[in-house]
Structure 1
Amino acid sequence: MEKPTHLKFLVSNASAGSVIGKGGSTITDFQKESGARIQLSRNQEFFPGTADRIIMLSGKIDDVLKAMDLILNKLLSEIQSEDGDDAEQRSKVRLVVPNSCCGAIIGKGGVTIKSFIEESGASIKISPQDNNFIGLADRIVTLAGSFEEQMQAIDLILSKLSEDHLYLQSMNAPLSYPSVLFAGFHHVPYPFVPPPVGPAAYNNYGPQYNNYGPPNGGGGRYMNNTKEDRANSLTIGVADEHIGVVVGRGGRNISEISQTSGARIKISDRGDFMAGTSNRKVTITGSLRSIRAAEAMIKQKVDSVAEINEPL
């Protein structure tokens, strides 16, 4: 008898709503049609370092793949209705895989992941383990390509992972990450370019985060705190050419970020840059939780356009 397996992946809050449907109608239909169980993390329960919710599909491999097919088709059709025919090439699937199981995808000398890339035609990238989050034992596997290429890559990856008993055991892990602690700001190369000089006050970023900032206050973020939690503010620098993707058409993106996170977001006027840079000032105000969520969503928007413009 085939053992049940599972697959976890990330979706935006808006996409999670599309998967659930009005009164849960869509998720109920998808479960009936596929035979897989579909679970979502609760609203505001995000994967650490992101503003994205987690979806877990469980059941037989074929049932899980069918559910993934249904969900991705729905989300892709909605993206295409907004952004046109190029949406498929820009869409990405981000799988959540236990760190202990990533070796099976990579293979000795990278031979397995290379074969998966060749066979599927999809781009497959595995994130480094994020040491900024204490207790986080999962990594992100990002797939890019056409819908068919992504589904083929998912089939190959899931089949390989399902051979690993450790992976099958991880199906019982909770969807939320209550025991994961943020141990510092996430410093990776992205166009939130830090100013060349000036101190940054990282203390009081929530009770368990005090004094975890980098020495000498390096970084492009300035946290200003007051006694009232709702009055915290954070200023980050975003490259001028990437402000458009943060704002969105008719202000759609920035409105969505503000509504989802609960934070207020203000962008400096054109020509009003952070000292010594060509980066516009984006000031996020609200509770500590809402600020972190808004910053993660802004970073995600900037990352998406930065990757599209990367030279081949």
Structure 2
Amino acid sequence: MNFKNREDDRDRKGRRDGESEVRVLVHESHAGAVIGRGGSRIKELREKTGAQLKVFSRTAPQSSERLVLLNGEVDKIVECIAIIIDVLKEIPIKGPIRPYDPMYYDPDVIGDYGGYVPDRNFVNRVAPRREYGFGGGG
């Protein structure tokens, strides 16, 4: 038999067996409703569902969306998302709507907006930004 202690049950991202991770994008004007005054809604969601969640402070690149990271058992995550949807569907979006386009993925700021960490095979396929125009001139 092979017994593991609790630390050994965690994967490299800190999740235990049976736990999952879900990332949900919400409009930046809705982020405050997910967080609540002084973090009260996040605390309530954690206590009510048992899911862990974090709302990243920065919008995803070139978008008006912020990432909500949820961790826990699948049924707890689903319950938490259902509550978030019920809250947000009653609140109108304020401001421009610019959905996140993965083409603008930026590995340099993933910690700020919650993007996925690239693996060793990652190749940034976004064309490099050019500082100068095109043309032949001479």
TM-score by length of 2: 0.60
Deviations 1:112-145 (A, max 9, x none): 12111100000011111148x3x42111101111
Deviation at 1:107, TM superposition (A): 1.3
Whether 1:289 and 2:130 are equivalent positions in the alignment is no
Whether 1:137 and 2:64 are equivalent positions in the alignment is yes
Whether 1:101 and 2:26 are equivalent positions in the alignment is no
Gaps of 5+ in 2: 1-15, 113-118, 129-138
Instruction: Give the Cα separation in 2 of the matches to 1:127 and 1:289.
Output: 25
Deviations 1:68-121 (A, max 9, x none): xxxxxxxxxxxxxxxxx92x21x2010000111111111112111211110000
TM-score by length of 1: 0.29
- In structure 2, relative to structure 1, the CA distance for the partners of 1:130 and 1:113 (3 Å cut) is same
Whether the 8 Å contact between 2:35 and 2:41 is mirrored in structure 1 is yes
- In structure 2, relative to structure 1, the CA distance for the partners of 1:163 and 1:289 (3 Å cut) is same
- In structure 2, relative to structure 1, the CA distance for the partners of 1:95 and 1:109 (3 Å cut) is same
From 89, 104, 108, the equivalent of 1:185 is: 108
Higher relative contact order (CA 8 A, sep 6+): 2
Whether the 8 Å contact between 2:64 and 2:98 is mirrored in structure 1 is no
- In structure 2, relative to structure 1, the CA distance for the partners of 1:129 and 1:290 (3 Å cut) is closer
Instruction: Give the Cα separation in 1 of the matches to 2:87 and 2:98.
Output: 22
Deviation at 1:164, TM superposition (A): 0.7
- Equivalent AA in structure 2 for residue 162 of structure 1: K
Instruction: Give the Cα separation in 2 of the matches to 1:175 and 1:99.
Output: 11
In the alignment of these two chains, the number of paired residues is 107
- Equivalent AA in structure 2 for residue 116 of structure 1: L
Gaps of 5+ in 1: 1-84, 190-245, 247-253, 264-287, 293-312
Whether 1:111 and 2:40 are equivalent positions in the alignment is yes
> Partner of 1:185: helix, strand, or coil?
helix
Larger Rg: 1
Instruction: Give the Cα separation in 2 of the matches to 1:162 and 1:101.
Output: 10
Whether the 8 Å contact between 2:56 and 2:68 is mirrored in structure 1 is yes
Deviations 1:130-161 (A, max 9, x none): 48x3x421111011110111111011111101
> Partner of 1:110: helix, strand, or coil?
helix
Instruction: Give the Cα separation in 2 of the matches to 1:175 and 1:107.
Output: 23
Deviation at 1:188, TM superposition (A): 3.9
> Partner of 2:25: helix, strand, or coil?
strand
> Partner of 1:136: helix, strand, or coil?
coil
Deviation at 1:165, TM superposition (A): 1.8
From 78, 92, 95, the equivalent of 1:165 is: 92
> Partner of 1:94: helix, strand, or coil?
strand
Whether 1:153 and 2:80 are equivalent positions in the alignment is yes
- In structure 2, relative to structure 1, the CA distance for the partners of 1:156 and 1:176 (3 Å cut) is closer
Q: What percent identity do the matched residue pairs reach?
A: 26
- Equivalent AA in structure 2 for residue 101 of structure 1: H
